[in-house]
Structure 1
């Protein structure tokens, strides 16, 4: 056969991303695009035999926080190790642009508190070779990475850029402030931002406990920005909101979201979670989403594909005793030194009695809720039975859950990880999560890669989705073609990236070759490879035989090939 293509993947089982049934087919690639799918007679300069493998589009994660990591690292780890070939960052209203030099410390503090990125890492890693948002995009355009990446205009830096200290202190924006913010969002969208993002969550605080700049922004301010988006005629809106006012009858906060979509004419998505503290709220919000879409307002819920896994350990950012004064006195010791002190009966007795001191009451409540924690093993089980929960185990042993948590943390080599399902596992059931994920007006997302370096490692969710929901779950399992559709075409189109997410001629040649029988995710573990020696959680997978970005193989059997075809994606396409 004459060489006609750069790459041909032969004999695979193609799941094209549309939800269509799997079929035997070859996939030909030329100039970074899919050239043909079916029987391919022409040869490729490189050929890969995919017999026995699933061939899918590359996965698209529309909810990440790689805003800083994208400026210092060429690899979007851990996402790129789980078949992700496009990430969207700038979510939840936080990021690093626009930013004047005098405001860098403020944005660092916001990212440290909200996204658990150590201050030292940002000071060592972020080059700050920009001020305006278009400048930031220009800086990103020089980067060469293992994955494509796109970003959005975040509200917190925008507010600080326009209002200075008044923005940090959450003072009301003036008419001039609002006009300036709207203009800057228009400029960002014109330069290639995919959208605008904000946060209205009380969980989002700086390390000293202060609410982030956007939390109490008035609807008038958001409406001004929405009018700027209408003038631009492009972009999506993304936000995080606690919806504290939600009742079974509805939510006035959600009514505001409807008005923003009406004003802007742009699609909106928001974080949708089943949180046990707010029973039934997810259902109320999903009903609101249904009504909005019936009324012609494109609103989607972003839903995590597994319980949101908040991880605690002696080597991680937090654990149930990490905010107690006696622990603070030893937290700087090496692990072996900490273990020696913690195994002292007097220290144990003191910490079990001590009251914690921490500036974020919501986060403190989570880390002290040991009754609802589990031990995360290897391989990790993110949907463990209620009998394995610490309250049940403690009752069987005749101790308190806090005593059991302490003993587990100091057992063995001191590397035990406690797992708290922060959302999507009410009453140790995945039923509510399944209802949200299967809804036509939701999108699978919330990997959060690039953030929560020592607290959450949910960027591996594509691997979990393929293994748990289609293969390993007890009870109903989902069609593989539908699940691939949710990981590829649906998220891509949610943010306006119509050039990827499918295996069809003319689409980007972003491809995964997967051995579904061998596919598994390993337990997360800490590594110290961030700028300044900072720590992050790494989580690897087995079963990805190859990941391809723009026609170049970036990973083979989980090993990085050195190829860096990933580029900044500017604007919808």
Structure 2
């Protein structure tokens, strides 16, 4: 074994592959795992981790951390729950490329990515360059958002794009892929992209057929019309010859509770023909901009922020209606722009989706919300507490695989997601009997318990219940695949 900088001794290793745990030592040298085995004669510093689990650092498959990485590079909400890599640019919204001159009038939901001063990158490459010049504590897998491209190129997003506008978006897509974007995301659920027809999305994404990439989508509809929306996403994936990632897969509204059996069967059938997977989180509530269509199908709606009436933060929509004597429309107008948490999913659906073999874990947190959904601080530790330890929906090995090896494979990330000699030393150390989330809907900003240490590229970024000063995160480079279909066939 080469000289090591640190040896974690007597570790219970859950390696990210789904294989059974085992006990061994892990030697770290520089950015990499030097060796795994027994090293009684090695002279490197040692940390005895007897009784604790060492796993690959968790990969958050769905975030909106594009601007948070720059504003808060310690990334405490993420490293405190064991996350070492975040996937940004989801739901069609990415921080770049966008002309800084329109930063103070960007439409929702782009504003969920942070304050106007963060929207200062007219090229995707400029944002990537700043992340590399001033790295955060975690690694980044960047996607480029179709909605952002629409806002950047169109004077009116309430219509389909014209051919010149599509051509302009294609140029931006090409530039983003060359700069390192792993693919494209869409969010046709949201107003700025709701009028984009399927053909427009296929055309904008066309450069991926040359450069490779994946397609992540917040579907047009997650309620009654979810099946046609899924079929549209699958059509786009086939046209672009790429992996489809169904974002935060859910069935919204009581009328659709139980339909996860139907949608997961559809995913299974599609997977025999094309690459497809999904991400999800373990909560029965979601969060986004305030919309009446969501208020009306939710059993409860909590306001996370409001520019029109800041006192609404943390309050229930129904209570505000009664208190202020306003109907739904009038209260919406008073609060807007605003964000909300919607309790509109069935826990049985959540568990069924989380247990599906192709499901990755993604927080979908909105980090700048004054009263955020607890998923921003607790998604991964909630899975370990509720679905593994309390409910036995997943084994520890299955849960870690979803959080690590599966995500690394789907996103085409080399030498991460598994504990293997030669792989990057992205590690999380935790107590399997104590690990859990503290963040709640009432008090959401709370660090998890039981996470003893987190290393990113060999440097410790979480220890003794606090974030460190190291900023070793990297903007990861995609392993381009010539053809998603060829890759699926080879597998």
The alignment's TM-score, normalised by the length of structure 1, stands at 0.73
**Which residue of structure 2 aligns with residue 236 of structure 1?**
214
Tell me if 1:540 matches 2:447: yes
526 and 322 in structure 1: CA distance in 2 versus 1, 3 angstrom threshold: closer
Specify whether residues 49 and 152 from structure 1 end up closer, same or farther in structure 2 by C-alpha distance, changes over 3 A only: same
Instruction: Check the 8 A contact 1:286/1:301 in 2, yes or no.
Output: no
Q: Does 1:550 align with 2:457?
A: yes
- Aligned residue in 1 for 2:344: 422
Compute the displacement of 1:46 (Å): 3.2
Match of 2:21 in 1: 22
Q: Which of 103, 111, 115 does residue 122 from structure 1 map onto?
A: 115
1:12 is displaced (CA, Å) by 0.9
2:465 is equivalent to residue 488 of structure 1: no
Is residue 2:89 matched to residue 1:90?
yes
Using the TM superposition, give the Cα deviation of residue 54 of structure 1 relative to its aligned residue in structure 2, in angstroms.
0.7
Cα 1:485–1:446 shift into 2, 3 Å? same
Flag the 1:181–1:275 CA change in 2: closer, same or farther, 3 A. Answer: same
Q: Deviations over 1:141-162 (max 9, x none)?
A: 1122211122111112211222
Task: Sort the Cα spacing of 1:82 and 1:241 in 2 relative to 1 into closer, same or farther, 3 A.
Answer: same
**Residues of 1 paired with 2:262 and 2:205: CA distance?**
25
- Is 2:4–2:27's contact at 8 Å kept on the other side of the alignment? yes
- How many angstroms does 1:75 deviate by? 1.7
- 1:305 partner SS: coil
For residue 311 of structure 2, the aligned residue among 331, 349, 352 is 331
Q: Residues 47 and 252 of structure 1: is their aligned pair in 2 closer, same or farther, counting only changes over 3 Å?
A: same
**Alpha-carbon distance in structure 2 between the residues aligned to 1:75 and 1:158:** 29
In 2, Cα distance between the equivalents of 1:31 and 1:37?
Answer: 15
1:280, distance to aligned residue in structure 2 (A)? 4.0
Q: Check if 1:442 corresponds to 2:368.
A: no
Question: Residue by residue, what CA displacement relative to the aligned partner does 1:16-66 show, whole Å, maximum 9, x if unpaired?
Answer: 111111101011112211111122345364321111111111000010001
Conserved 8 A contact 1:6-1:31? yes
Cα distance in 2, alignment partners of residues 107 and 572 from structure 1:
33
Relative to structure 1, is the Cα distance of residues 107 and 19 closer, same or farther in structure 2, using a 3 angstrom cutoff? same
| Structure 1 counterpart of 2:268 | 290
**CA-atom RMSD in angstroms:** 3.5
2:468 maps to which residue? 561
Aligned-residue offset at 1:170: 2.4
Residues in 1 aligned to 2:103 and 2:195: alpha-carbon distance in whole angstroms: 22
Which structure has the larger Rg? 1
Task: Give the TM-score, by structure 2 length.
Answer: 0.84
1:540 CA drift (Å) = 0.7
Deviation at 1:330, TM superposition (A): 8.7
Find out whether 1:351 has 2:351 as its counterpart.
Answer: no
Displacement after TM superposition at 1:472 (Å) = 1.7
Name 1:133's counterpart in structure 2.
124
Residues 373 and 441, structure 2, Cα contact 8 Å, conserved in 1: no
Superposed, 1:392-471 pairs within 5 Å as 421-423=343-345, 426=346, 430-450=347-367, 452-459=369-376, 460-471=378-389
Answer yes or no: is the 8 Å Cα contact 1:3–1:44 preserved in 2.
no
The secondary structure found in structure 1 opposite 2:206 is helix
Q: Deviations over 1:188-217 (max 9, x none)?
A: 11110111011021xx3xxxxxx2x21220
Task: From the superposition, tell whether residues 481 and 332 of structure 1 become closer, same or farther in structure 2 (CA, over 3 Å).
Answer: closer
Contact 2:135-2:471 at 8 Å conserved across structures:
yes
Residue 75 to residue 431, structure 1, CA distance change in 2 (3 Å)? same
Q: Distance in 1 between matches of 2:220 and 2:124?
A: 28
Superposition pairs for residues 149-548 of structure 1, below 5 Å? 149-163=140-154, 165-166=155-156, 169-201=157-189, 204=190, 211=191, 213-232=192-211, 234-243=212-221, 251-271=227-247, 272-277=249-254, 278-295=256-273, 297-308=274-285, 331=311, 351=323, 353-356=325-328, 357-359=330-332, 421-423=343-345, 426=346, 430-450=347-367, 452-459=369-376, 460-473=378-391, 476-524=392-440, 537-548=444-455
- Number of aligned residue pairs: give it: 462
Once the two structures are TM-superposed, the CA of residue 570 in structure 1 deviates from its matched residue by 3.2
- Whether the 8 Å CA contact 1:182–1:224 is kept in 2: the answer is yes
Deviations 1:303-344 (A, max 9, x none): 212323669xxxxxx996979x9x9779399x9xx9xxxxxx
Q: Give distance in 2, aligned partners of 1:518 and 1:146.
A: 24
Moved over 6 A (4+): 318-323, 327-330, 347-350
Contact in 2 for aligned 1:92/1:239 (Cα 8 Å): yes
Aligned to 1:100: 99
Matched, 1:572 2:479: yes
